[in-house]
A and B are shown apart, each in its own frame.
Chain A
Amino acid sequence: MELQDQLWRAVARTFECFCFLVPHEDAGERTTPEYATAAWLPFARVDGAEALGKEGSLTLRAEPELLQRALEGMLDDPTEVSPQDGLGELANVICGQVLGDVAPESVFDLGSPSALDGETPPFPAPASSVKAELVFDDGVIEVGLHLPS
């Protein structure tokens, strides 16, 4: 399975399990997404096979209405957490899932999620990126896996 498909599936499973939201299989025609909240977190391999290199990062950007719906599915009271913290936690879970699927023989340390300015994470500086967009009834979310050279 290609990395882009694995990213797509990791986001889809996370949203289905935690938020009770299912993405459209066919994105269809739509306008350019307007992402209001974005998170990124770095990861580093601490043991095992060198499947993805030593380090990298994952980004997650979401349209506001979709993120609100996701938080309503995740929590009894979605106002208890900020959209940024909620998206960061989703990024954390998706990152762990992708790394486990792509490099099951490796052990990674995941960093803490942070707010992302722009489209690419500041550290570690990525040389290549794979992205996937998922379209839900309430908006679009984009996941990116960024790897150094």
Chain B
Amino acid sequence: MSLDVLVVDDSPVMRRMVRRNLDLTGFELGEVREAKNGRDALDQLGEACVDLALVDVNMPVMNGIELIHAMKADARLCSVPVVVVSSEASAQRREEFTALGVGYVRKPFTPEDLVEAVIGALTGGEDGTARPAMAGSGPDF
């Protein structure tokens, strides 16, 4: 079963980097979509749901926190696992991420860091059910 992913970041360079790191993780990837801000992400999620969203925080138009709140308020999107991918490291932000029930990986990250955060998000859903989205026996480094 492949993993459809939405990468949300205002930087096209970072979107490509996240995408490349996803390729390096060993996950079997389906469609990888890109959105340049939270509003763009919601528009895309209205067209097609995904198995995972990787979300930056600081973005124009609609930032990552606002996007996550909007997803949590939408019955169709509230169960989509989210990993915040950000250089934000303040204690306040980390507490906010925990309260929102989302994963977190700090930039800069290694593919191993990304794997750990993604697996945590995929297996730590509200129902506690692991989602069988990894290829074969999973990532192998």
Contacts and interface: CB of A to CB of B under 8 A. Distances in A.
B76 to A, nearest CB: 31
A89 interface: yes
Interface residues of A, number: 32
Interface in B74-124: 86-93, 106-110, 113
Residue among B14, B16, B87, B91 having the largest count of chain A Cβ atoms under 10 Å: B87
B58 interface: yes
A86 B12 CA distance: 10
Given A17-B109, A18-B17, A47-B92, A109 B12 contact: no
A48 interface: yes
Contacts of A101: 89
A48 B87 contact: no
B87 A81 contact: no
A113 to B, nearest CB: 9
B14 A89 contact: yes
Given A75-B17, A97-B107, A106 B87 contact: no
A90 to B, nearest CB: 9
Given A13-B108, A97-B87, A110-B58, A74 B92 contact: no
B11 interface: yes
A53 interface: no
B69 interface: no
A21 to B, nearest CB: 12
Contacts of A16: 108
Nearest to B21: A18
Contact of B87 (A47, A75, A92, A107): A92
Interface of B: 11-14, 16-17, 20, 23, 58, 86-93, 106-110, 113
Given A17-B113, A97-B108, 20 more contacts: A17-B110, A48-B90, A74-B17, A76-B20, A76-B23, A85-B12, A89-B13, A89-B14, A93-B87, A93-B107, A96-B88, A97-B87, A97-B107, A99-B89, A104-B91, A105-B90, A105-B91, A106-B90, A107-B90, A109-B58
Interface of A: 13-14, 16-18, 47-48, 74-76, 80-81, 85-86, 88-89, 92-93, 95-97, 99-101, 103-110
